[in-house]
Amino acid sequence: MDYATPQIEEIFLSFDMDCEKAIDYMKNEYNLMRAGRANPKLVESIRVNYYGTPTPIKMMGNISIPEPRCLVITPWDKSSLKEIEKAILAANIGVTPQNDGTLIRLTFPVLTEERRKELVKQVKKLAEDTKVVLRNARRDAMDGLKKEKNAKTVSEDIIADYEEQIDKSLSKQIESVDKLARDKETDVMSV
């Protein structure tokens, strides 16, 4: 899209970037939420002291899901099993690792109804927090457009069109947040 001035282009780029960051953060947080199923994202970024270097687990071996509630970590270097086990315990993800000498198995317990409802509340709260961030990004963009309007670098009609574009974009972003929240809520409540 062509913008009337570089400043307006910067306003739109900043708005899009802020929205993208907020939604990416939300997706990442949802991936880390334990919904009674094994998810490699829960352990991928746990850092293990591997020969004095903090190394993410995903760089030390394979992470697989043989069953819906079971996660298996098979390190390439079997001597690192104890360190991986220690790092998982220190990360306090709510699961105790079982080391059998060749791999580490994490078995996730079935969530209680009470815990599921608690997780749904967290899902909704994160969705609302994300919407607040999106609205703040919209407010910043609108303020930038107002400054351009006051500086009289662009006609008021063009500024009105840009404001309408920002509002449409915000509506799409909020729909996306709502859909992600509904999907995660369904995921949490399914047994």
pLDDT by residue for the chain (191 residues), tens only, comes to 677 788 888 999 999 999 999 999 998 888 777 666 677 877 887 888 888 888 888 888 888 888 877 889 899 988 888 888 888 888 877 778 888 888 889 887 777 788 788 888 989 999 999 999 999 999 999 999 898 888 888 888 888 899 999 999 999 999 999 999 998 888 877 75
Cβ contact 27:72 at 8 Å: no
Cβ contact 8:148 at 8 Å: yes
**Cα distance between residue 74 and residue 39, in whole Å:** 15
Q: What is the dihedral of CA 159, 165, 170, 171, to 10 degrees?
A: 130
Give the CATH number of domain 41-107: 3.30.1360.40
Cβ contact 35:187 at 8 Å: yes
Cβ contact 127:177 at 8 Å: yes
Q: Which residues pair with 99 in a beta bridge?
A: 104
The pLDDT score that the predictor gives to residue 1 is: 62
Reduced to 3 states (helix: H, G, I; strand: E, B; else coil), residue 74 is strand
The pLDDT score that the predictor gives to residue 178 is: 94
- Give the 3-state secondary structure percentages of the chain, helix then strand then coil, rounded to 5: 65, 15, 25
The pLDDT score that the predictor gives to residue 26 is: 92
Q: Could you tell me which residues come within 8 angstroms of residue 82 by beta carbon, excluding any fewer than 6 positions away? A: 99
Cβ contact 108:93 at 8 Å: no
Q: Which residues pair with 70 in a beta bridge?
A: 67, 107
Domain ranges of the chain: 7-32+112-189, 41-107
CATH superfamily of 7-32+112-189: Ribosome-recycling factor (1.10.132.20)
The pLDDT score that the predictor gives to residue 35 is: 66
The pLDDT score that the predictor gives to residue 34 is: 66
**pTM metric for this prediction:** 0.72
